[in-house]
Amino acid sequence: MESAIYNLYSGQSGGMFPVYAGSRGGGGFFSSIAKFALPLLKNLGKRFLGVVSRGATQYLSGNKNLSTAMMDEMETEASDLAQVGLKRFNDYRKRRRGKGRKLLINKKSRLD
C-alpha cells in the first residue's frame, strides 16, 4: 500500500523529489505576448462583427450593394478606432506627466 501512495505522490510531483511542485506554467515568452494580444484580438473581433452586421443590415435594407456597404462601414470603424486610440494615448500622457522622482526632487530643491 505504501508503494502505491508513494508512486502516486511521486508522479504528481514530477520526479523523485519528496516535495510537491505542482504546475509551474505560464511565465514564458508566449504567455507574455498572449496577455497583450488576447484582449486586443477580443476588442478587434467585436468591432469586426459590428462592421459585418451593420454592413449586412445596409445591404439587406436595399440601400447599398454589399461591397460598398462593407467598405463604408470599415472606413467609419477605422476612423472611430483611430480617434479612440488617440484619446487613450492623450489621456495616458496626461496621467504620466509630472510623475516620477525627478519632479519630487525639483520641488524639494525649489523650496530650499
92, burial (CB in 10 Å: exposed 0-12, middle 13-18, buried 19+):
exposed
How far does Cα 4 stand from its chain's mean position?
A: 45
What pLDDT does 16 receive?
55
pTM over 0.75: no
What pLDDT does 73 receive?
92
With a cut of 70, list the residues of the chain below it in pLDDT: 1-2, 6, 9-27, 98-112
Q: 17 is written with which cell numbers?
A: 523529489
Task: Please give the C-alpha separations between residue 13 and each of 3, 28, 36, 50, 60, in angstroms, as whole numbers.
Answer: 15, 21, 31, 48, 60
Q: Any idea where the domains of the chain sit in the sequence?
A: 29-97
What pLDDT does 9 receive?
64
What pLDDT does 36 receive?
83
Residue pair 53/72 in contact by the 8 Å Cβ criterion: no
What pLDDT does 106 receive?
56
What pLDDT does 32 receive?
79
Q: What are phi and psi of 63, to 5 degrees?
A: -75, -40
Distance, CA of 70 to CA of 41 (rounded, Å): 20
